[in-house]
Amino acid sequence: MIDIPSDEKILLISRRHYFTIYAKLAVLVVLIFMPIFIWLIIKSLPLETGGIFLKFFFLSSSLYALFLIGTAFFIIFDYLLDYLVLTNERILEVEQKGYFNQETHEFRLSTIQNINIEINGFIATWLDFGDLKIYTAAEKEPFIFNSIPHPNEVKKIINYWWEEALKTKH
């Protein structure tokens, strides 16, 4: 949980674009049908498919489905717990690493030196999402916020509040 002082205003809370989670879940939906297709292929072959083979196939298919359902829950969990918070003084990024580890990065708006946007591909251009890279005075590597919806608008908001932070700093 992040702590925001009462004198700071939350201006924006953003998660990754919804397409990123839908794309991952669509792959899982396709994969969940794989045991059915394998079963149909096996049934069409002139093999004995009863007894221990049938029990093993259904056990392994059930474990496979359980694994895919667990993966789907993790994808949703990760999507909901990764977010970006812009206040009138700071930018905070909360990133979930696994089920029990969370990283929080924060920096003051006055330390921003450069903001870049990368929008790669037809789908990202069409749905208007991309990566936001923020370079600060303190860090050599940029802070990268992946698949942010409406990155140009987010950049405009950050630039406006960055200029305001510089005015109050001087």
Give the pLDDT confidence score for residue 50 in this predicted structure.
66
- With b for 16 or more beta-carbon neighbours within 10 A and e for fewer, the 114-123 pattern comes to ebeeeeeeee
Give the pLDDT confidence score for residue 18 in this predicted structure.
93
In 3D space, the residue among 168, 26, 32, 165 whose CA is nearest the CA of residue 86 turns out to be 165
Give the pLDDT band (50/70/90) at residue 169.
low
Q: What is the pLDDT of residues 76-103, one digit of tens each?
A: 999 999 999 999 889 998 988 888 888 8
Q: Mean pLDDT of all residues in the chain?
A: 88
CB 96 within 8 A of CB 102: yes
Mean pLDDT across 131-146: 87
In 3D space, the residue among 82, 78, 77 whose CA is nearest the CA of residue 92 turns out to be 82
Alpha helices by DSSP H, listed for the chain, are 18-32, 34-44, 52-81, 122-127, 151-169
The domain defined by 10-170 folds into PH-domain like (2.30.29)
Percentage of the chain with pLDDT > 90? 52
| Domain ranges (residues) in the chain | 10-170
Asked whether residue 118 carries a pLDDT value surpassing 90, the answer given is yes
Give the pLDDT confidence score for residue 111 in this predicted structure.
87
Asked whether residue 1 carries a pLDDT value surpassing 70, the answer given is no
